[in-house]
Amino acid sequence: MTTPGEQMHALVERLYPLCRSITGDGVRATLDIVGEYVPLQVHEVPTGTQVLDWTVPQEWNIRDAYIADTAGNRVVDFAASSLHVLGYSVPVSATMPLAELRAHLHTLPDHPSWVPYRTSYYKPEWGFCLAQETLDALPDGEYEVRIDSTLADGHLTYAEHVVPGQVPDEVIVSCHVCHPSLANDNLAGIAVATFLAQALAQETPYYTYRFLFAPGTIGAITWLARNAERVNGVSPALGAPPGRRLGEEPRAGGRVKHGLVLACAGDPGQLTYKQSRRGDAEIDRVMRHVLAASERPHRVNEFTPYGYDERQFCSPGFDLGVGSLTRTPYAGYPEYHTSADNPDFVSPEAMADTLAVCREAFAVLDRNRRYVNLSPYGEPQLGRRGLYDALGGRSDTKQAQMAMLWVLNLSDGEHSLLDVAERSELPFDTVAAAAGALHGAGLIKA
C-alpha cells in the first residue's frame, strides 16, 4: 500500500507533462485531474472582465511548436517539454537564419544542460527556451520556426473546494496552477493542498476551509475582486477602506479569518514560513509555535510584498492574516524555474512533511479558543471534581496538572489557549486537553 507521500508524488508526475499558463486548456486539464481527488467548483471569468486594477487577459492555448533544421529534424520540440516555448508566445510560422533566430532564444549559460522557464504574459512576443549546449551545437543556416498557438478572447479559469466546518468563518488555503512542467514550483503545492483537503474532509473541523486553485497573481486578484465583501466586508467599489494598525483584528463582516499560501512544498530544503503583513496574525503565531515545538529545522521570515499570492491577500485594502509556507522559498534554489525542477527533484518524504506541518498547524488553529473561568475567586478544588484522579497514570501528569492551573488562571476572556501554551511553555496539545477537562467539569466556558 502506498503512503500519502508516494501518492502525492504520483500526482506530481501525472500533472508534470501538462502545459499550464495563467489561462487556457492546460489549467482546465490540471483541474480535471485534481477534481478526481476532491470535488471542485470551477469558475470561468471572461476576457476583459475588470478585476480590481487588472483586466482578465486573452486566453492562450498551444498545440505544437518546434525549431527544425533544413533536414526537417526538430532541434527544439515543444512535444518533448512544455518549457521549450516562451509562455504566451504569439503564433509564428517562418524560416530564418540562426543569427536572426537567436534574439528569440533563451538559455542558462551557467547551467548549460538546463532549459529555463520564461513567459511574456502582457507583451506580444514569441520565443523558445532551450539548453545552452543545444544552442552551441546548432550550425549556422536556415531554420524553420513554428509556434501553433492562439491568443484570443476566452476565459480565466480557477477552482475552489470547500470543507465545511462548524462555523462559517473561513481559512483560505491557496496554491497557484499556472506553471508548466515545474515539479516543486507549483505541482508539489497543488499535491499537498489536494491531500490536505482530503484529510480535513475526514474530520469535523471548527473552521470552514476553502481551497483555492488559481493562476498566480491574476487568479488571486480575480478571486479577491469577486469575493471582496465576503472576504472582509469591504467592497473595492467603495474606495480605499479606513486605515488600521498592523496587528488589529480583521474588519467586521469578513468571513476569512486566516490563510496559508502553499508553494515549493517538495524540495529537500528546510521548511520556511513567511509571515503575513500583519506579523502577529493568529496564523503567524500558530505557525511559529508549531514549527518551534516540532523541533524541525525551519526558518520564519518577515513579510515582503514580493513572492507568491500572500502579497495579494495581504495588500493593504484586504490586509488578511495570510502567510506562506514553502520549503526553500522562491528563487532560493538553483533548479528554480528550470527543467531541473522535475519530479526527481521533489520527494514523497518532503511533501509528507509539509502536509504534516499543515495538519498540525490547523489542528492548533481549530482548537485555539478563549475561555472564562467560572470560579475565578481563588483556585477551585480540582480533587473533589475528579480532575486530578483523571490524570492518574499519564506520563505527563505533572505537565497536565500545571496546564490546568495555567488555563484556569488565564481564562479571563482575553487570553487564548495559544497564549497559555506560549506563556507556560507547555505543549499546545496538553493545554487543549486541560481546557477540555476543565470545560467538562463546568469550571470554564468558551
Bridge pairing between strands 322-326 and 256-262? parallel
CA distance linking residue 74 with residue 340, whole number of Å: 22
CATH of domain 370-445: 1.10.10.10
185 annotated to a ligand binding site = yes
- DSSP H or E segment with residue 161: strand 155-163
CATH of domain 4-57+155-367: 3.40.630.10
CA distance linking residue 325 with residue 211, whole number of Å: 15
Q: At 28, list the grid cell.
A: 482546465
Question: Shortest CA distance to 337 belongs to which of 106, 98, 122?
Answer: 106
Question: Shortest CA distance to 164 belongs to which of 229, 116, 209?
Answer: 209
Select from 3.30.390.30, 3.50.50.60, 1.10.150.530, 3.50.30.90 the CATH code of 59-152: 3.50.30.90
Backbone angles phi, psi at 442, to 5 degrees: 80, 20
337 annotated to a ligand binding site = yes
Question: Shortest CA distance to 144 belongs to which of 86, 90, 98?
Answer: 98
Q: At 319, list the grid cell.
A: 490586509
179 annotated to a ligand binding site = yes
Assess contact for 85 and 118: CB atoms under 8 A: no
pLDDT in the model for residue 252? 46
Amino acid in the structure at residue 102: R
pLDDT per position in the chain (446 positions), as tens? 899 999 999 999 999 999 999 999 999 999 999 999 999 999 999 999 999 999 999 999 999 999 999 999 999 999 999 999 999 999 999 999 999 999 999 999 999 999 999 999 999 999 999 999 999 999 999 999 999 999 999 999 999 999 999 999 999 999 999 999 999 999 999 999 999 999 999 999 999 999 999 999 999 999 999 999 888 776 656 454 545 444 445 444 589 999 999 999 999 999 999 999 999 999 999 999 999 999 999 999 999 999 999 999 999 999 999 999 999 999 999 999 999 999 999 999 999 999 999 999 999 999 999 999 999 999 898 888 888 765 555 567 788 889 999 999 999 999 999 999 999 999 999 999 999 999 999 999 99
Cα separations in angstroms, 378 against 155, 387, 433? 64, 17, 22
Q: Sketch the domain layout of the chain as residue ranges.
A: 4-57+155-367, 59-152, 370-445
CA distance linking residue 222 with residue 215, whole number of Å: 9
3-state secondary structure of 92: strand
**N-term to C-term CA, the chain:** 42
